[in-house]
Each structure stands twice: as structure tokens, then as C-alpha cells.
Amino acid sequence: MKQADVVVIGGSAAGIPAAVTARRHYPEKSILLVRKEKQVLIPCGIPYIFGTVGTPENNLIPDGVLQSNNIELIVDEVKELKPIEKKVTLASGESVTYDKLVLATGSSPLLPPISGIDKKNVYLIKKDVQYLKNLLDALEDAKDLVILGCGFIGVEFADECKKSRDVNVTIVEMLDQCLQIAFGEEACRCCQEVEDYLGKKGINIITGARLEEVLGEDKVTAVRLSNGQEIKADALIVGIGVRPNVDLAQKAGLAVSKGGIIVDTTMRTSDPNIFACGDCADKFSFFTGQPSGLRLASIATTEARIAGANLYEISRKHPGVVGVFCTAIGNLTVAMAGMSEKGAKQCGFDVITGEAEAADRHPGGMPGMSKMWVRLVFNKVNGELVGGAVRGGPSAGELINTISACIQNRMRANDIATFQIGTHPAVTASPIAYQLINAAEMALKNMKS
């Protein structure tokens, strides 16, 4: 029987940082990571396999990070967990005992209960190299591709698939607009621009309709929608969400909810020697303390860094999920952190907003300039920032992270309006026109009126 001080199950966005953080905090411990797959895909890069990066092999997390941190790797599936014996059993039959265990078993794509969904050429978005190679092959011969779901994954898939092949692409979305779950209705300006961009690329977007049936003999030939429309399809990609992988934990008797393996704010499960992080772990909102359904790699890594640090000595606590999204379609980047105005109101917050738009270089004629628009949502009662949306060029991707930092540090409009920034003509907005600061100023003005 093998033995390691720390065993991590899972080798993706949660497992790797959990193991690396454990190494940094507990240099004397032996650390073993077990994962199912030989090669680990960068999950967020999967859509780009179908266009920009070209193959699954160009979208892998290198194992070097494990080697350089002296983390032993076993590629195998953990079949059983026995918490009392502090032991896991692998598919190979080998057993490993642990002192501390981290569950980072992730999530699997949701298969909606739609008639005909089991037909050939219907693909889920699995984090699996061979599966995605099969999808690439199927797309080689496809003339008509339908994508179910117009969240950021559906949007990215559509853009990438269209980019590199001569195929008719249709996205089917039951909500009124693309990206609506991520952005809320207030930021529909961002969503509309994404729809306009995709439309110009020749991508057909059908919103407000459900996919009701997959048609064809054994292979998909068309789909039927709730509005009666039939759309030709020789491949269907389903990207509508995930469910947490909790079987191992559940069978071992750990507490599990609909949202995943139950953890406290230190990421400890119902067994004090077992931690869980990433898509498999239950989540709660930073704002309300209520369960959160968000599943993101950025959340997984944060949780992993909390779990890895806390294994032998509790030093970090999870404040709850803020939720920070970002996507780029063509030259347009749209991003969102925290609550939308509508979402905040639904949670009972009285809110005030402020907006600002300016060039993200100064003067505006500098190369690489994009117009950047920022909208901030503040809690009217205590003045704290609870949400923000950004639309612009590539610089929007980092500004949303600054907004997230402001939210997590419960900064108020006045703090942000007097935020000390660094600016340079070639890389930032002008200090006079700085969108984040001016959006806070506008919110302060709106609070007074």
C-alpha cells in the first residue's frame, strides 16, 4: 500500500493549485496528485481548439508544474474513498493512505432530457482530448452546426467554429438574449454588441426558443424548436451547464447538497481531514450568503488556494463567490463582476449606478486604442460597490479584476473616486478620463440627485 501525507484527487483548475499551495505551505509533506486523464486540457481554452489553437494538444496544462513542485503524479481513477481508514482505492487495485485529502473532482456537462439527444453527432463539451478530437473530425464534414446555449461557452464555440470552416452555425437560446445569465439585463448593451458581431460573421442566433427534439435516424439531421422551427443540423453541440462530480464523496458518506460537496468557509468537508474545492464543491454568494450556482476556473483556483493552505493549519477563509466573467469575441471584450443591477434588486438591495466611457489610451489616437465603457452598481445604503460591467478591448479583461478587488474589499464610491492609479498613454486611459473613477463619480452624483 502506498502512503502520502497529502493526496489530491483531480488534476485540473482546482487540483493543481491545491497541490502547489500545499507544497508552498507545507514543504516537508509528501504530496500525491491522482487524476483520471493522461493529458489535462486547459478547460477555458477548449472553444479555441476549434479555431485559433487548432488541436487539443495545443491546449494542454503542462505537467512541469507538478514536477517542479515535487508533487508525485498517478494517472488513474479513484474508485473508492474510505474516510475512517484514510484510504483511497484506485482502478488499478492499488490503495493509497493519506493524512489529508483534497477532493477536486470537478464537474461533468449536463445532458438535457431532450428527445433524441442520444443520437450520433450530438456532442457535450467534455474535458477529454480524444472526445474533442472526435468532435473536430465530425465538424470536418459538417455543413450545418447547431449550438445549444448562448452563454459565454456557446458564443465562443460559435465564433471559433465559424472562423476556420465553411459551416452554417446556428445558436439556440431559450432566454431573450445571449450572455444574459452572466450579464443580467442591465448590461444588454454588451450582449447586443456580441449578437451584432456574431450576426455580421454570419452566425444565426435564435433566442427565446427551446430545443425540443433532435431529429434523424441514428444520426442528427435537424433539430425542432419550441416555436415550431426546424433547423438542419449534421452536428449539435450542447453547452448548457454542468453538474458537480460528487459520487465518490457521497458514497464515502460525506455531506453533499444539490450544489456539490458541502464545505465550510475553510473548504473543509464534513470530515475534518478532507477538503473540497472547485466545481465539485458547494458554493455561497459573497453578497447574500445564499447558495451560488457559479462554476468557474477562477473560482476553482481561489478555493484550491484556500484548501491547500488550510490543510494542517487554518489560515484562509472563503468570503463567498463574487463571480467574475470575461469573454472576448473579435475585438470586443465584455466582462462582469458581482451583481447586475437587476440581480441586486432581486436580492433586496437598494442600488445606485454610475457609468463612464472613454478611450483606453491617451490621446485616443494611440495605437491599439479601444473605447471602454464601465458601469458600477453600488449599495445605496452603505455605499459599497456590489457589481460592475466593462465593455471594450483587451484591457477590459484586467479592469474587471480591479473591480472585483474593489468589491471584495467592500470599497465605497468615494474610495474608488479617489483610488490611486498609474497611467501611461500607451497602455491606459487618461487619468482625467479614467472610466472606473468617473463611473464612481457619476454614481456619487446620482446618489445626491
- Determine, following the binding rule CB under 6 A, whether residue 279 of this chain makes contact with ligand FAD: yes
- Determine, following the binding rule CB under 6 A, whether residue 132 of this chain makes contact with ligand FAD: no
**Closer residue to ligand FAD (CB): 125 or 416:** 125
- Determine, following the binding rule CB under 6 A, whether residue 81 of this chain makes contact with ligand FAD: no
| Per-residue interface string for the shown chain with ligand FAD, residues 33-62, x marking contact by CB under 6 A | -xxxx--x--xx-xx---------------
- Determine, following the binding rule CB under 6 A, whether residue 87 of this chain makes contact with ligand FAD: no
**Closer residue to ligand FAD (CB): 246 or 351:** 246
Size of the site for ligand FAD (CB under 6 A): 34
3-state SS, residue 111: coil
Beta carbon of residue 253, minimum distance to ligand FAD (angstroms, whole number): 16
> How far apart (Å, rounded) are the C-alpha atoms in residues 239 and 230?
20
**Closer residue to ligand FAD (CB): 279 or 360:** 279
What secondary structure does DSSP assign to 43-105, as a single string? GGGGGGGGTTS-SGGGSB--THHHHHTT-EEEES-EEEEETTTTEEEETTS-EEEEEEEEE--
Beta carbon of residue 171, minimum distance to ligand FAD (angstroms, whole number): 14
DSSP code, position 373 = E
**Closer residue to ligand FAD (CB): 35 or 224:** 35
Contact 39, 129 (CB under 8 A): yes
CA-based angle 429:434:437, to the nearest 5? 155
Q: Which stretch binds ligand FAD (CB under 6 A): 134-142, 185-193, 199-207, 297-305?
A: 297-305
Residues in contact with 351: Cβ distance below 8 Å, sequence separation at least 6, in sequence order: 341, 344, 345, 377, 378, 379, 380, 386
- Determine, following the binding rule CB under 6 A, whether residue 236 of this chain makes contact with ligand FAD: no
Q: Which stretch binds ligand FAD (CB under 6 A): 53-61, 103-111, 169-177, 391-399?
A: 103-111
Contact 413, 444 (CB under 8 A): yes
**Closer residue to ligand FAD (CB): 179 or 417:** 179
Q: Which stretch binds ligand FAD (CB under 6 A): 5-13, 20-28, 253-261, 352-360?
A: 5-13
Q: Which stretch binds ligand FAD (CB under 6 A): 20-28, 31-39, 336-344, 374-382?
A: 31-39
- Determine, following the binding rule CB under 6 A, whether residue 10 of this chain makes contact with ligand FAD: yes
312 to 371, contacts with ligand FAD by CB under 6 A? none
Is omega for the bond preceding 363 within 30 degrees of 0, making it cis? yes
- Determine, following the binding rule CB under 6 A, whether residue 300 of this chain makes contact with ligand FAD: yes
Phi-psi region of 320 (alpha: psi -120 to 50; beta: other; left: phi over 0): left
**Closer residue to ligand FAD (CB): 20 or 369:** 20
Amino acid at 400: I
Q: 3-state SS of the chain: helix, strand, coil percent to 5?
A: 30, 30, 40
- Determine, following the binding rule CB under 6 A, whether residue 107 of this chain makes contact with ligand FAD: yes
> How far apart (Å, rounded) are the C-alpha atoms in residues 205 and 207?
6
Which residues pair with residue 328 across a beta bridge?
A: 333
Which residues pair with residue 334 across a beta bridge?
A: 327, 391
Nearest residue to 311 (alpha-carbon basis) of 70, 13, 20: 20
- Determine, following the binding rule CB under 6 A, whether residue 83 of this chain makes contact with ligand FAD: no
**Closer residue to ligand FAD (CB): 195 or 279:** 279
Residue with cell 494517472: 75
151 to 180, contacts with ligand FAD by CB under 6 A? 153
Give residues in contact with ligand FAD (CB under 6 A): 9-15, 34-37, 40, 43-44, 46-47, 77-78, 104-107, 125, 127, 153, 245, 248, 278-279, 295-298, 300
